[in-house]
Structure 1
């Protein structure tokens, strides 16, 4: 048990719907996805067009990423939705299969979008004869931007709130009951988004793109660490609760393999020769 704080921060009354035009509504959450994809597209093209970061010409041309972004966007959206259905609420959708198509009702899973985007990039690179691992590096370098914006949108929506707490920066969320709670969405925005973005940009400037797989591995490993850490402050999904002994969550369970995958990618990258002007 915890003692209620003397005061809590007022939850900002931001309407999740930015603009409503008749039956159509433009939501902050949808804008976060769009803005993340557009900024990531722009930034990825800048990386592809900067030979010094690669030790020579980039294995992926800027115009080739123009085509890839459509595949990646579809992979994120379809994978995110399928992942949510399978990992977080399968019994419900088994009884209401058509509800799985109602994306506007919410319900996206990062781990599903992660797998969906990897599959989309693999198929795209195989079809066009491009370097798959370098494509992963480019995508990983910009993903934290989308994560940052998406978690801010989660906060605006008043969803995915944290566990009850007595910290001074607690919020009472509109749909989270009367208890003050951790703003875990902001923790995730700061760790999964801002912190990982800064670390990746430092690594890229230090030459990480010259060893394909390093940036992707670093992102995957750091995301796994950040997500597992924040899960200790985030309220588990109501339909799942805690798993295996009362402390493990689905988010932790799905993030554990990311630690091994990230470490393997970075180790593999170190054992392979670095890109050079001649190789590129």
Structure 2
């Protein structure tokens, strides 16, 4: 890969087809697509890691709640992602609802999947009597796993390519014309996936962030919004929304991320302005210290 990138900087632009990538594994009777495997890997890895997280002190839920979240969040990702794509990016799908079921034809919206996961968390939290904000903190730490795998799968499929560019690593994608383009799928994988994984895992395991309700989900929400907003400058707008992007100056993805950024920053500010869970006000600590001193023998 690196040798191909170096050669592209000096000679002809890199060709995506030269990478030898395939959209899936041909089983003869069926092609197991990497995009499906990416969803599955992200969900399973998130389930495994969340099961580990609740074993650390301060967990707001038990394993049975993790199992419920695994089931309902999976439904939320699939149903919300598909309905969100039809609503935000391709409204023509609503004219023939049967097309909504054709997931193998592609078309999933991150924002729709996020809404689906949000509704799933609300349902599990309400039914189990759990603090919603803390449940959201724990789930948010695991979402970037799916983002990383999903965007890598987009690159392997040669879809959702970026705008034309003259950077050394730009490449020609099949169906995108003869000009080299930004591999914006990899930009998203790096920002929305790998970077957020490092930040959120560090905050959870190496700091006391989990004791501040809303901090982790706030960092995730603001981070995913900022990452997507930035990458959209290099990503080719959907064909049916190119006129919308030209007219408004921002793509649909960017407009949809602005509320996420604001919400995330508000959650972070709220979490940092409140005392962490388990803390005792200074006056209370002084009273406890005085009581302890008076009860100790002279």
**Higher mean C-alpha deviation, range 10-19 or range 231-240:** 10-19
Question: In the alignment, what sits opposite 1:86?
Answer: 87
Asked if the contact 1:75–1:117 (Cα under 8 Å) also holds between the matched residues in 2, the reply is yes
- Counterpart in the other structure of 1:260: 262
The offset of 1:27, in angstroms, is 0.5
Relative contact order: is structure 1 or structure 2 higher (C-alpha 8 Å, sep ≥ 6)?
A: 1
Q: CA deviation at 1:246?
A: 5.6
How many residue pairs match? The answer is: 268
Deviation at 1:97, TM superposition (A): 2.3
Whether the aligned pair in 2 keeps the contact of 1:5 and 1:167 (CA below 8 Å) is no
Q: What do the CA deviations read for 1:102-130 (whole angstroms, capped 9, x no partner)?
A: 11111000000011100111011101111
SS at match of 2:32: strand
3-state DSSP class of the match of 1:44? helix
Q: Which residue of the partner structure matches residue 203 of structure 1?
A: 203
Query: For residues 259 and 248 of structure 2, what CA distance do their matches in structure 1 show?
Result: 20
Decide whether the 8 Å contact of 1:60 with 1:134 is kept in 2.
no
Name the structure 2 match of 1:18: 25
Point out where structure 1 has 5 or more consecutive residues left out of the alignment: 52-56
C-alpha distance in structure 2 between counterparts of 1:29 and 1:277, whole Å: 45
Does the CA contact (< 8 Å) of 2:173 and 2:180 recur in 1?
A: yes
Deviations 1:42-85 (A, max 9, x none): 1111111111xxxxx31112332122110111111111001000
Q: Give the TM-score normalised by structure 2.
A: 0.86
Q: Quick one: which of 43, 46, 65 aligns to 1:40?
A: 46
- Would the aligned equivalents of 1:224 and 1:259 in 2 still touch at CA under 8 Å? yes
RMSD: 1.8
Instruction: Quote how far apart the aligned CAs of 1:203 are.
Output: 1.8
In the other structure, the counterpart of 2:276 is 274
Aligned structure 1 segments of 4 or more residues deviating by more than 4 angstroms: none
Deviation at 1:158, TM superposition (A): 0.6
Deviations 1:202-236 (A, max 9, x none): 22221111111100000000111110100000000
Distance 1:73 1:79 in 2: 10
Q: Which has the larger radius of gyration?
A: 2
TM-score by length of 1: 0.91
The verdict on how the C-alpha distance between 1:17 and 1:60 changes in structure 2, with shifts beyond 3 A counting, is same
Find the counterpart in structure 2 of residue 102 from structure 1: 102
**CA distances 1:219-277 after superposition (whole Å, capped 9, x unpaired):** 00011111010000000000111436363101101000001110121122223332229
Alpha-carbon spacing, 1:6–1:166, altered in 2? closer, same or farther (3 Å)? farther
CA distance in structure 1 between the partners assigned to 2:67 and 2:248 by the alignment: 46
- Residue 31 of structure 2 corresponds to residue 31 of structure 1: no
CA–CA separation in structure 2 for the residues paired with 1:250 and 1:16: 26
**CA–CA distance in structure 2, aligned partners of residues 71 and 271 of structure 1:** 32
